[in-house]
Structures are given as C-alpha cells and as structure tokens.
A and B are shown apart, each in its own frame.
Chain A
Amino acid sequence: MTLVEPSRARTAPPPPKAVSPGRQVWQMFRRNHSAMAGLFILLAIILISLVGPSLYTVNPREMVWMPLTPPGQSEYVLGTDYLGRDLLAGLINGGRVTITIGVFAAVLTVLIGVTVGAMAGFFGGRVDNLLMRVTEFFQVLPNLLFAMVVVMLFGPTLVNISVAIGIVSWTSTARLTRAEFLRIREMDYVKAERSIGAGNARLIWKVILPNAAPPLIVVAALSIGSAILFEAGLSFLGLSDPNAMSWGRMIGDNRPYILDSSWGVTFPGLAIFLTVLAISLVGDGLNDAINPKLRQRQ
C-alpha cells in the first residue's frame, strides 16, 4: 500500500505554477503598447540625462555663440538662448536637474501623504479628524501661491523648490491612503492578524500598507510628472535655482524673448512635454496592470 503512494503522487496533475505578483504585473504591463512606448521614452530620457553630459561636453553655462541664434545656423544645432548659451547642452544637462527635482518632490509627496493618510485612516476618530482638518487646510491654500511664498522665503535652491512642491501636493495622496486604510482595516485578515496580537505598527506597515499599495504606486508615478510641471511653472515665474540648469529655468530665462526667438522656450518645453507624457503613460499602464479589477476585465 505504501508503495502505491509515490506513483499516485507522480500521476497527479502538477500544481499551478506560482507566478510572483511582480511578474504578473509586468506581463500585463508589457501587453499595453502605449505604456511600453512611455517606458521607452522615459528610459531614453533618463539615459540621455545620465550619460549625455559626458558625451556632449559643451558647458551649458558658457556663452558660446551669438545670442538667440536660430536652430541649424551654427555648430550648435538647436540654436542658442538669450545669452548665447547652447540650448542642446542646456537640454542634456537640464534633464538631470529636472528629473531629480521631480523624483525628490514625488518622494516627499508620497512620504507625507502616506504617513498622514495611514494615521488618519487607521486610528480614525480624533486623530482622523485632526489630520483631515490639517489636510483640508493645505488643500484650500492656492498651491502655486503657497509654493511661491515658500521658495521666496527660503530662497530658490533645488532642495527648497523640491520641498515646496512636496509640501503643497501631498494632500490628495493622503486622502487616497486614508480611504484605502478605512476600507482595508475592516477586512477579515486584518482582524485575524490583530486577534493573534499584532501591534499597531505591524498592522499599519506590514498588513494594511502592502494591500493599499497598488493605487499608491500609480499616484507616486504620476506625481513625478506633476512635480516636473510644477517646477516648470515656478521657473516660468522666475523662481528657479540660478545655479542649476533645469528645463523650467530655460523656459523662464527665455520667456521675455519668445516673440522673436521661439526656439528658446520650444525645445525645453518639448522636453518637459515628452517627459511628463511618458510618465503619464507609464502611470496609466501601471494602473491597468496593478488594479485587479481592471485586470479581470481584460
């Protein structure tokens, strides 16, 4: 009898191959053409920003040619800005700064937003009430004005600009996180975890947060794009770090000359447009891939 056991085991159908959630998401994502296009554009921009400055070595701050030279009329193919600086060098070097600000501000947005939202959603009651009033306070402040005040007060440096963007844009992340937490904290598996003695910290970070993560990942990705746009907006108003070349700053610098030499703002504008578009496509793709409801629909 005992001899039969192994043979029966051998003939049994193999258990379904376990596919890791990450892989599953990637498979879904890969099938989404627009998302893949966005990903390629994004990777290309990041690659150019990383290695470009060492391949194309023109100093973006140096005045190399006659100011406001149109594209294609000198060795500087995209033309020059109002001080005769090479626009191509500016674009290549500016990408690094722009993306860094975007990522840093997005990290800050998510950090503040998730912390506030998690506390409010998990503890409820008074804590929720207090944190949500704080959130509303930040929500009713006009974003751009508030960020301008912060940058003006503390000076336009890269860190201050990123912090200002982070401070004004975390509220929607907080609201989303709170909603997810309110929903998930009533789930049976959370109650089960609590019943076997899990503490609040464990429940928040190890149990609820991973289950609330999918929409948050999408929001985080998209907030990089909006942070880049925000930085461009501040720069347009002249609030950019004068010591770092960013795309937004290039637009702000060349804005007064827009009537006679549109290329000075067109190229950095296109760069920002492409980057934000790519980030949005990737974000949408992630949303489709991560969200189980959407996944079933496909």
Chain B
Amino acid sequence: MFQRLSRTFLGALPVALALSVGAAPVAHAEPKAGGTLTTFTSGYRTLNPAVQSGASTGSPGSQIFAGLVTVGQDYKIQPYLAKDWEVSADQLTVTFNLVSGAKFHDGAPITGEDVKFSLETVKANHPFGAAMFGNVGEIDVPSPETVVIHLNQPVPGLLLSMQPLLMPILPKHVYGDGQDIKTHPRNMENVVGSGPFKVEENNPAERLVLVKNEDFFIEGRPYLDKIVYPMVKDPLTRVLMLEKGEIDFAPFSGIRPTDVARIERAEGVNLTTDGYDAIGYVHYFEMNLRNEPFSNREVREALAHAIDTGFLSKVIFGGKAVPGTGPLHTGNPFYSADVPMYEPDMDKAAAMLDAAGYPVKDGVRFSFVLDVPSWAPQAHVPMAEYIQAQLEKLNIKVELRKAPDFGTWVQRISSWDYEATMNGSFNYPDPTIGVHRHFDCDNIKNVIWANTEGYCNPEVDKLLDAAAVEVDFDKRKALYAELQKTIQQDLVFIYMPQDFSATVYSDAVGNMPDTPFGALAPMYDTYLDK
C-alpha cells in the first residue's frame, strides 16, 4: 500500500518536470547497436510461419526467417532477400534476383533452390497457401541467385505475400528430408532460419530468446543483440509488467480500451495503434444462414437495426474501436465506405420482425444460442453480452454459450453445428487471402474461417473471380467496392467494431515497427536507447 502510494507520488514528479519544459516524444538521435529488447509471448506451437498463421508464431517467426521482400509504409514493396525483381508485361512471369552471399544460420548459403522449396512448401501447407499461390505454376532456378516464377493467371497480391510472415525462406537441406513439415521436429528444435535473429533458447512454457545473427545479409543490422519473449498469458499482468518496465515492447498487447488512460498516465510508456493495417482484424456476428430464422434476410436486417455498433464503439470500447462497415478493414487499401448502413432503430426492428413472421408469442419471438469463442474475450464477451441485452428488448431470447477452449469452438463452427457465434478474422493486405474465404461458394467447407455460414451468391462469386486476377489497382478497387456493397446488402454478417489492436512500448524503443505488418515484420531496424 505504502509502496504503491510512494510510487504514484514519485511517478508524478518527473511528469511535472517534463511538462514544465514542454514535453515532446523522446527524440532519438542515431540508431545505436546493442541491448536486449524484452517483449512477450502468449504461447506458440511452432516457430515455423510456413505451416501456421497468426501472431503468436509470426511475431518471432518473422525475426528468425527472412522473406524475399518487406512491406513499407503505404504498402510500398521494398527489397529484402531479393535485391530487385522484374514482372513481365503479361503479368505472368516474375523474376527475383537474390542478394549475394546470404547465409542460413548454420552457414549454408541461401540459394534459389531454397526459395523454390519454400514457395512450394507454403503453397502446400500454409492455411492460405492455395489462396496466395494457387496460380503459381512452374518455378525455375536458372542460377543460384535467380528465381523465375511462372503464373497461370495474374496474381495481383503476389508481392505482398512474399514478405517473411507469409512466405518465410526455409532451408531446404533441413526441411527437405521427406518428413511432414507440419510436424517436423526442426520447427521447434535447433531451428535454422535465414533472418536477422537466431534462436538461442526455446522453452515455450517459459521463454524464447533470440540473439543477433552476426552473418545477417544486410550490413550493420540488426541493431539489437537480443530479443526475449517471456511467456505472459494474462493481459492484466502484461499491463503491470509494462508499467514496471519489465517489458519494453508489447505488440498485440490484448489490452482493453479502458486500460489506455492508465497506460498513458504511466511514465516512459507509449501506446500506438499503428502497425496493424495489413493484419486488418475485424469482428463480426456470424449467423448460420442454413436455418430459420437467420436464413430470412428480413430477420438479419431487423437485428442489424437493433445492434448499435456505434454504441459499442463509443461507450463499451471507450471510442477507441472503429465500427466495421463491411468485410474489409478500414485500413485496407481496397476499403470502401459506400455500403448500405442500418441505422439503430428498435421500433423498426420490431416491426420488421413482426412482418417477417416472428411476432411476440408468449413473450418470446424466437430464441437462439450464441457461441462465444475463447480467443478474444476482451472483444467478444462485451459484444455478446450487449447483443443479449439488446435483443432481450425485442423479446428475442439469446442464450450465451462460452467455449471452454479453442478446439471446442472450432469443432462447433466448422461442423456448422451452431446457430450464431461471435467471430473475427484477419483481412491480410490482399483480400484474396483473408476476405474471399468467407464468401466464395466453393469455400463452403468444414474448415474454420472458411465459408462456415453457408453463404452462396453467384454474383458475388463472379466479383471474387474477377477481382482475384485484376491487375489494375483502380479497376480492382471498384470490384471490391461492389463486393462490399453486396455483402452488406445481403447482410451475410453483422459487422462489429474492429479490433482494438494496440502496441505498448517504452520510450527506449527506437524505430518502432509501425509499417502495415507492424511487429510481424522483421525488426532489424529497431534499436534500444536506454
């Protein structure tokens, strides 16, 4: 108690001093080499991003493995392992020239054969492999430093997928031994990467330690000597550790919007929501469209009028979460705001339900079970409880069913054995990866985050097919604008406020990874000044 009081008091002093001299964000002079950056992990099953999507693997994975390119501000593609590349006029051949002298962590040279092997491995094993590289045909390696990729059809998002998160460069001499790469022992033990940091200690229950790769192919990088990922599962613990300076850098911090004021008060700690555009984390209320009452569009529209996402954003998430307006995240380059909107109106909702054949009978219109997954409780629990309270006013009885673990929920949703669920997914920068999967008729599969709701509209399929191969950015954007309009017209999902993704970091962190891929991009430019 006394400790806490004195800490608060002492903490106030430097703040007052800083204010008196006109506090500005700490300006770092020159990047400086050395130092240990402490971040955190909430647990991972593998360090190989070629077989596992998501931030838990991707965050260290993008440090361990290099990619052909990186994605800079405004989605500008920048050279990485590929020093340059050339796209043929018909958009069907892409030639990459690799930097000379690049080596894996075990000293073996990185060659075109490794790039070819990696691309084929990702195509066959990554959850988005087919979406990203389904149109990749022959891959030629005319010289050790040249890779030529032949495409069956133009792939507009190809280069965006070539950064390390989605296309890590794997050592063929390690993974090409015929074992199933999804369960390959070297995904966790004695990992040989190609990126700026090497694995020094890997104990997923406790901590992961990465050390500087002295032989990294970019001269003078990385700046950091070490990155340490202690296992911290509880978001509240994370906030306390940040305040005490035990963590320097917390991407995907999982903090609640209500923690923001607290973080901003803390000395030496900053918060940013930059660095998540390419991830595009959206949340939505998913209904099983196969069965009554949700097969009825009128019912879905009534619910859309009843659920006030503006209220959720403003009040429940403290104005920090942007309401979603459709399948694309507002930070996506193809986002369009020109979609049908359903203004909050309870009377209208009630009238629509009456008209749709769901009058109040014995005090209830209808009832349904709303599944609440366990993987984003800070977002999904408030949303579900709001929906329950809001629909109760319309005499719709909502029974919440909280999934005890990830597997139980996946089982229910992917076997289509559900009525409605809270859900969320990543857009990724190219909609072919994270958006098409939810709406394509061919993707009505027993796979989680596929088209589990059972939506099929031939018009939408035509749009998706056209957008997937359209190489002209403006034409493509127009196609996606049409798609967003149609999806909102059909009310496939009811979009909730987008995820409040925030990075919390200390003053000492220089060159914060704030590009569209944020902390899932390689951090060889990041340094510490403390």
A61 contacts B385, CB within 8 Å?
A: yes
B386 contacts A82, CB within 8 Å?
A: no
Tell yes or no: A260 within 8 A of B by CB.
yes
Tell yes or no: A4 within 8 A of B by CB.
no
Given the interface contacts A63-B386, A83-B385, A152-B404, does A256 sit within 8 Å of B256 by beta carbon?
Answer: yes
Given the interface contacts A68-B258, A260-B258, does A61 sit within 8 Å of B389 by beta carbon?
Answer: yes
Q: How far is the CB of B381 from chain A (nearest CB, A)?
A: 8
Pick the contact of A59 from B261, B262, B389, B401 — CB < 8 Å? Answer: B389
Given the interface contacts A63-B316, A152-B404, does A82 sit within 8 Å of B258 by beta carbon?
Answer: yes
Q: A62: which B residues are within 8 A, CB to CB?
A: 389, 392-393
Report the interface size class on chain B: 20 to 34
Q: B400: which A residues are within 8 A, CB to CB?
A: 242-243
Given the interface contacts A61-B392, A67-B316, does A256 sit within 8 Å of B386 by beta carbon?
Answer: no
A67 contacts B315, CB within 8 Å?
A: yes
A256 contacts B235, CB within 8 Å?
A: yes
Tell yes or no: B402 within 8 A of A by CB.
yes
Tell yes or no: B372 within 8 A of A by CB.
yes
Please measure, in the bound complex, the distance between the C-alpha atom of A82 and the C-alpha atom of B378, giving whole angstroms.
11
Tell yes or no: A156 within 8 A of B by CB.
yes
Q: A83: which B residues are within 8 A, CB to CB?
A: 316, 382, 385-386
Tell yes or no: A187 within 8 A of B by CB.
no
Number of A-B contacts (CB under 8 A): 57
Q: How far is the CB of B367 from chain A (nearest CB, A)?
A: 11
Q: How far is the CB of B6 from chain A (nearest CB, A)?
A: 17
Tell yes or no: B388 within 8 A of A by CB.
yes
Q: B315: which A residues are within 8 A, CB to CB?
A: 63, 66-67, 84
> Which residues of B396-449 are within 8 A (CB) of A?
399-402, 404-405
Identify which of B377, B378, B389 gathers the most chain A CB atoms within 10 Å of its CB. B389
Chain B residue with the shortest CB-CB distance to A260 = B262
0/1 string, B305-339, CB within 8 A of A gives 1: 00000010001101000000000000000000000
Please measure, in the bound complex, the distance between the C-alpha atom of A97 and the C-alpha atom of B235, giving whole angstroms.
29
Q: B235: which A residues are within 8 A, CB to CB?
A: 256
Q: A63: which B residues are within 8 A, CB to CB?
A: 311, 315-316, 386, 389
B236 contacts A256, CB within 8 Å?
A: yes
Please measure, in the bound complex, the distance between the C-alpha atom of A268 and the C-alpha atom of B384, giving whole angstroms.
22
Q: How far is the CB of B259 from chain A (nearest CB, A)?
A: 8
Tell yes or no: A259 within 8 A of B by CB.
yes
B389 contacts A243, CB within 8 Å?
A: no
Chain B residue with the shortest CB-CB distance to A149 = B404
Please measure, in the bound complex, the distance between the C-alpha atom of A257 and the C-alpha atom of B261, giving whole angstroms.
12
> Which residues of A71-124 are within 8 A (CB) of B?
82-84
Please measure, in the bound complex, the distance between the C-alpha atom of A242 and the C-alpha atom of B404, giving whole angstroms.
12
Q: B399: which A residues are within 8 A, CB to CB?
A: 243
Q: B385: which A residues are within 8 A, CB to CB?
A: 61, 83, 242
Given the interface contacts A63-B316, A155-B401, does A257 sit within 8 Å of B258 by beta carbon?
Answer: yes
Q: A84: which B residues are within 8 A, CB to CB?
A: 315-316
Q: B392: which A residues are within 8 A, CB to CB?
A: 59, 61-62
Chain B residue with the shortest CB-CB distance to A152 = B404
Q: How far is the CB of B11 from chain A (nearest CB, A)?
A: 14
Please measure, in the bound complex, the distance between the C-alpha atom of A197 and the C-alpha atom of B239, giving whole angstroms.
73
Please measure, in the bound complex, the distance between the C-alpha atom of A185 and the C-alpha atom of B365, giving whole angstroms.
60
0/1 string, B357-400, CB within 8 A of A gives 1: 00000000000000010000110001011101100110000011
Chain B residue with the shortest CB-CB distance to A240 = B402
> Which residues of A196-253 are within 8 A (CB) of B?
238, 242-243
Chain B residue with the shortest CB-CB distance to A62 = B389
Q: A66: which B residues are within 8 A, CB to CB?
A: 315
> Which residues of A37-76 are within 8 A (CB) of B?
59, 61-63, 66-68
Q: How far is the CB of B255 from chain A (nearest CB, A)?
A: 10
Please measure, in the bound complex, the distance between the C-alpha atom of A242 and the C-alpha atom of B373, giving whole angstroms.
13
Q: How far is the CB of A189 from chain B (nearest CB, A)?
A: 52
Pick the contact of A242 from B236, B378, B402 — CB < 8 Å? Answer: B402
Q: A155: which B residues are within 8 A, CB to CB?
A: 401, 404
Q: How far is the CB of A46 from chain B (nearest CB, A)?
A: 26
Please measure, in the bound complex, the distance between the C-alpha atom of A259 and the C-alpha atom of B8, giving whole angstroms.
13
Q: How far is the CB of A25 from chain B (nearest CB, A)?
A: 44
Please measure, in the bound complex, the distance between the C-alpha atom of A256 and the C-alpha atom of B237, giving whole angstroms.
10
Chain A residue with the shortest CB-CB distance to B259 = A260
Please measure, in the bound complex, the distance between the C-alpha atom of A238 and the C-alpha atom of B234, giving whole angstroms.
13
> Which residues of B232-285 are within 8 A (CB) of A?
235-236, 239, 256, 258, 261-262
Please measure, in the bound complex, the distance between the C-alpha atom of A257 and the C-alpha atom of B258, giving whole angstroms.
8
Q: A153: which B residues are within 8 A, CB to CB?
A: 404
Q: B382: which A residues are within 8 A, CB to CB?
A: 82-83
Chain B residue with the shortest CB-CB distance to A65 = B315
Q: How far is the CB of A23 from chain B (nearest CB, A)?
A: 47
Q: A257: which B residues are within 8 A, CB to CB?
A: 256, 258
Q: A242: which B residues are within 8 A, CB to CB?
A: 372, 384-385, 400-402
Please measure, in the bound complex, the distance between the C-alpha atom of A152 and the C-alpha atom of B402, giving whole angstroms.
10
Q: How far is the CB of B86 from chain A (nearest CB, A)?
A: 52
Q: How far is the CB of A59 from chain B (nearest CB, A)?
A: 7
Please measure, in the bound complex, the distance between the C-alpha atom of A67 and the C-alpha atom of B261, giving whole angstroms.
14
Please measure, in the bound complex, the distance between the C-alpha atom of A152 and the C-alpha atom of B258, giving whole angstroms.
29
Q: How far is the CB of A136 from chain B (nearest CB, A)?
A: 29
Q: A256: which B residues are within 8 A, CB to CB?
A: 235-236, 256, 378
> Which residues of B201-237 are within 8 A (CB) of A?
235-236
Please measure, in the bound complex, the distance between the C-alpha atom of A201 and the C-alpha atom of B372, giving whole angstroms.
49
Chain B residue with the shortest CB-CB distance to A84 = B315
Chain A residue with the shortest CB-CB distance to B239 = A259
Chain A residue with the shortest CB-CB distance to B401 = A155
Please measure, in the bound complex, the distance between the C-alpha atom of A67 and the C-alpha atom of B313, giving whole angstroms.
12
B402 contacts A156, CB within 8 Å?
A: yes
Please measure, in the bound complex, the distance between the C-alpha atom of A84 and the C-alpha atom of B390, giving whole angstroms.
13
Q: B256: which A residues are within 8 A, CB to CB?
A: 256-257
Q: How far is the CB of A258 from chain B (nearest CB, A)?
A: 8
> Which residues of A113-157 are within 8 A (CB) of B?
152-153, 155-156
Q: B236: which A residues are within 8 A, CB to CB?
A: 256, 259
Q: A238: which B residues are within 8 A, CB to CB?
A: 377
Q: B386: which A residues are within 8 A, CB to CB?
A: 63, 83
Q: How far is the CB of A158 from chain B (nearest CB, A)?
A: 12
Please measure, in the bound complex, the distance between the C-alpha atom of A59 and the C-alpha atom of B388, giving whole angstroms.
12
B316 contacts A259, CB within 8 Å?
A: no
Q: B261: which A residues are within 8 A, CB to CB?
A: 260
Please measure, in the bound complex, the distance between the C-alpha atom of A66 and the C-alpha atom of B382, giving whole angstroms.
14
Q: B384: which A residues are within 8 A, CB to CB?
A: 242
Q: How far is the CB of A211 from chain B (nearest CB, A)?
A: 45
Kindly list the 5 A-B residue pairs having the minimum CB-CB distance in the complex, ordered from nearest. A242-B400, A152-B404, A61-B389, A62-B389, A242-B402
Some 7 contacts from A to B, beta carbons below 8 A apart, are A62-B393, A67-B315, A68-B258, A242-B372, A242-B402, A256-B378, A259-B262
Given contacts A67-B315, A83-B316, A84-B315, 19 further A-B contacts (CB under 8 A): A61-B388, A62-B392, A63-B311, A63-B386, A67-B316, A82-B382, A83-B382, A83-B385, A84-B316, A152-B404, A152-B405, A153-B404, A242-B385, A242-B400, A242-B401, A242-B402, A259-B236, A260-B258, A260-B261
